[in-house]
Chain A
Amino acid sequence: GNSVTQMEGPVTLSEEAFLTINCTYTATGYPSLFWYVQYPGEGLQLLLKATKADDKGSNKGFEATYRKETTSFHLEKGSVQVSDSAVYFCALSDHAEGAQKLVFGQGTRLTINP
């Protein structure tokens, strides 16, 4: 079955540090890949997405590239801010199976200290 594995947390960084949160996936078809973010007290928000191999999703300074050869979709940001503190979820949707549901990783809590 389909699955997503992401970097164990929590992750604590200082402001302006470089961020990488690793995400790898297993899928039987041709998935679309997503990063969702949950800020304190809020629901999940789509941060970025990529729908085919070699696509790069980007938003708010975050980037992730769909790597089919390594089945990865790592999240990166060059200089994090305190406001980036949140829980980040990697997810996939495998439309080849006709399924619309999202399969999530376990989430990575990120804390940025000033």
Chain B
Amino acid sequence: EAGVTQFPSHSVIEKGQTVTLRCDPISGHDNLYWYRRVMGKEIKFLLHFVKESKQDESGMPNNRFLAERTGGTYSTLKVQPAELEDSGVYFCASSRAMGSYEQYFGPGTRLTVT
């Protein structure tokens, strides 16, 4: 089965611009997570979808970030407007069901805001 895929792999934008990251989870996985790693620090949780519903969005840094998962399949994470401190690697992960311990990660999208 195909793994978690993310697009693009790398994005370079200027401060104030908008960027949309996409994540395609493993087929059949109801749970989808977004994480990010900033400046070589720890990977931090952003939010968790169960199907199309936001289960936990406690990690979203501010209202410049908008995540959607229409139809419960792929998800997008939009940053508008982007700031310098948004630079980092954004990871998506998916898991089959609640209580499933293993999350499968995508390769990440490296976002650079200049």
Give me the interface of A with B, judged by CB distance under 8 Å. Answer: 4, 32, 34, 36, 41-46, 49, 51, 89, 91, 93, 95, 99-107
- Encoded as 1 (CB less than 8 Å from any A CB) or 0, chain B from 60 to 93 comes to 0000000000000000000000000000000101
**When A101-B56, A105-B42, A107-B40 are in contact, do A42 and B107 touch as well, CB less than 8 Å?**
yes
Q: Nearest residue in A to B9 (C-beta to C-beta)? A: A41
User: Is A102 a contact partner of B45 (Cβ separation < 8 A)?
Assistant: yes
Residues of B close to A93: CB separation below 8 A: 101
- Total CB contacts across the A-B interface at under 8 A: 61
> In the complex, what distance in Å separates the CA atom of A52 from the CA atom of B77?
34
In residues 16-66 of chain B, which contact A (Cβ within 8 Å)? 31, 33, 35, 37, 40-45, 48, 55-56, 59
Residues of A close to B59: CB separation below 8 A: 101
Would you give the shortest CB distance from A100 to chain B, in whole angstroms? 6
> In the complex, what distance in Å separates the CA atom of A107 from the CA atom of B98?
26
Residues of B close to A46: CB separation below 8 A: 102-104
B111 at the A/B interface (Cβ < 8 Å)?
no
**When A42-B107, A45-B105, A105-B42 are in contact, do A100 and B35 touch as well, CB less than 8 Å?**
no
User: Is A89 a contact partner of B43 (Cβ separation < 8 A)?
Assistant: yes
User: Is A43 a contact partner of B95 (Cβ separation < 8 A)?
Assistant: no
User: Is A43 a contact partner of B42 (Cβ separation < 8 A)?
Assistant: no
Would you give the shortest CB distance from A40 to chain B, in whole angstroms? 11
User: Is B98 a contact partner of A100 (Cβ separation < 8 A)?
Assistant: yes
Besides the known contacts A46-B103, A99-B56, 19 further A-B residue pairs in the complex with CB atoms under 8 A apart: A4-B42, A42-B107, A43-B4, A43-B91, A43-B108, A44-B91, A49-B102, A100-B33, A101-B56, A102-B43, A102-B45, A103-B45, A104-B42, A104-B43, A104-B44, A106-B42, A107-B37, A107-B40, A107-B43
